Amino acid sequence: MSLTDGYQMNNGLTIPKVGFGTWQAKDNEAKQSVLWALEAGYRHIDTAQGYNNEEEVGEAIKESGVPREEIFLTTKLHNKKHGYDNTVEALNDSLRKLDTDYLDLVLIHWPNPKYFRDNWKEANAESWKAMEEFVAAGKIKTLGVSNFLPHHLDALLETANIKPAVNQILLNPSEMQPDVVAYNTEHDIINEAYSPLGTGKIFDIDELKELAEKYDKTVAQLVLRWSLQHDFLPLPKTVTKERVFENADIFDFEINADDMKVIDGMTGRAGSATDPDTISF
């Protein structure tokens, strides 16, 4: 297995099994980290309209020398841009900022932002309709969601013509969201893991340090490998060059079943998922 190996999505296309995240990476940090990621062999780059770094990510892709068709590029719809007209405007804006003719994957970032709390179901349906039209026009290849719980997905599927291929959710040893993961798996939706390193909090767990030492790996490498062995798709994020390369070195070992159970038992040790129905943004 390598960074370019992929999962087959429910539309028949392939998504690389490990992506590179850019959340909280601003300006030159975002650009430089994506350049390092592409140098390290990542071919799956994840950004969002809400990250305010699409232009920098696009610049890095252009300057990397890696052909665009070799890169799987994801962005996400801003919480203020739900609804048909808003979504059309936002998607065209993302294409312009990322300086690309098409997007490999577009996600609705949150199912129930505060701006649409009274009509979230209708707003998501309208956004999805616009996104489906971009697929028909060849400007988007795959559609998905983020932070959706089963009741949000049930609502979306009432009107969707294209089934979501990906649900990007918080997944790490501290938060495994078993009900959401089971729903996604049952509906042939890939479980994509954001903050797979728990925004750094997992590094304070002594048992993980001991296990990492046992496998002669870093805690980050151990946890990313754990994610892959659960068939999750992790999106590690770092703006440190050494760690960009380090986090890619996760394919030369396997965690045994007993140690997987130990890691599975760390629920709540480094934070938990935010309730998407009560977010304040």
Catalytic residues: 51
3-state SS of the chain: helix, strand, coil percent to 5?
45, 15, 35
239 and 25 Cβ atoms separated by less than 8 Å: yes
Residue 146 identity (one-letter amino acid): S
Residue 244 backbone phi and psi in degrees, to 5: -55, -45
262 and 207 Cβ atoms separated by less than 8 Å: yes
Q: Is 32 exposed, middle or buried (0-12, 13-18, 19+ CB in 10 A)?
A: middle
Enumerate the known binding-site residues for substrate. 109
14 and 6 Cβ atoms separated by less than 8 Å: yes
CA angle 168, 108, 158 (to 5 degrees): 100
CA 12 to chain centre: 19
41 and 64 Cβ atoms separated by less than 8 Å: no
* DSSP conformation class of 168: E
Assigned token pair, 49: 């309209």
